[in-house]
Amino acid sequence: MLAEQRAERILKELAWRRAVTVTDLCQATGASEATIRRDLNALAKRGKLSKVHGGAVLMNGEFHGEELDMETKRQLHTEEKDRAAQYAAGLIGDEDVVFLDAGTTVLRMAEHLRTSGALFLTNSIECACRLMERNLRTHVLGGALKAGTMALIGSETLEALRRYNFTKAFLGANGITVAQGFTTPDPEEAAVKALAADRAQSVYVLADSSKFGQVTAAVIFPIEAACIITDRLPDPRYRDFTEIREV
């Protein structure tokens, strides 16, 4: 097994078990203890895990299996979300083609878009309504409507996304860690976010400081794939892996 393949297997084992021993990894990969220890040292230097005596654990990741309902999320960290949304709205120019997802902080961006010549695309029914109230050019992607978030998801949404290219994409996330990257509870929402990011020149994740160190079930993309707009960075080490803008 090549070093890259071993690293991938180690991270998969760690994501599943949350803590692994050198012996566990030797059995999983067929490699020697010396090789596994070298692999763990290399992954720790990259910020992918935390080494402990005899093995490794997830790096600063508190796992959450369930998603809060939309109304509860709206009431949390309202001032912090509004600052991030206002800053993000200020990044949009008249020539931009912008993707906005259904995150609660992203939804607040519409409140700060008084006038704009930009073209907006979204998979959020609520976001589309807010944009239309401000007479902004708005396209809505098709797909299955998810109860609770009013987000459009599924194969039809992904197919529609592939017909566009964006200058900027603004996304929400439920968790941010160095090892797991950006995560969200729903794999179908994660797929929409990931594809929108892949179609965009610049990608921004809007997340208040409570999202750092949290992990949910579905990976969106690695931490280095987006600039983070947040109210406060709890751990300065995150700056070693991606661009952070505190507002």
Residues 166-182 pLDDT 10s:
999 999 999 998 878 99
| Residues in a beta bridge with 128 | none
Identify the pLDDT of residue 71.
53
pLDDT digit string (tens) for the chain, length 247 residues: 788 899 988 888 876 666 788 998 999 999 999 999 999 999 888 877 778 778 887 665 555 555 555 555 545 567 889 999 999 999 999 999 999 999 999 999 999 998 899 999 999 999 999 999 999 999 999 999 998 888 999 999 999 999 999 999 999 999 998 878 999 989 999 999 999 999 999 999 999 998 988 888 899 999 999 999 999 998 888 898 999 999 9
CA 186/CA 190 separation, integer angstroms = 6
**Out of 1.10.10.10, 3.30.450.90, 3.40.50.970, 1.20.1250.20, which CATH number does the structure's domain 3-59 have?**
1.10.10.10
Element (H, E) at 135: none
CATH 1.10.10.10 residue ranges of the chain are 3-59
C-alpha closest to that of 37 among 45, 79, 175 = 45
CA 17/CA 165 separation, integer angstroms = 38
Element (H, E) at 15: helix 3-17
Identify the pLDDT of residue 12.
80
| Residues in a beta bridge with 74 | none
Identify the pLDDT of residue 75.
53
Name the CATH architecture for the domain at 70-246: 3-Layer(aba) Sandwich (3.40)
Residue 19 is classified by DSSP as E
Cβ(25)–Cβ(13) under 8 Å? yes
Identify the pLDDT of residue 52.
73
Identify the pLDDT of residue 63.
56
CATH 3.40.50.1360 residue ranges of the chain are 70-246
Q: Cα-flanking dihedrals φ and ψ of residue 139, to 5°?
A: -120, 140
pTM: 0.75
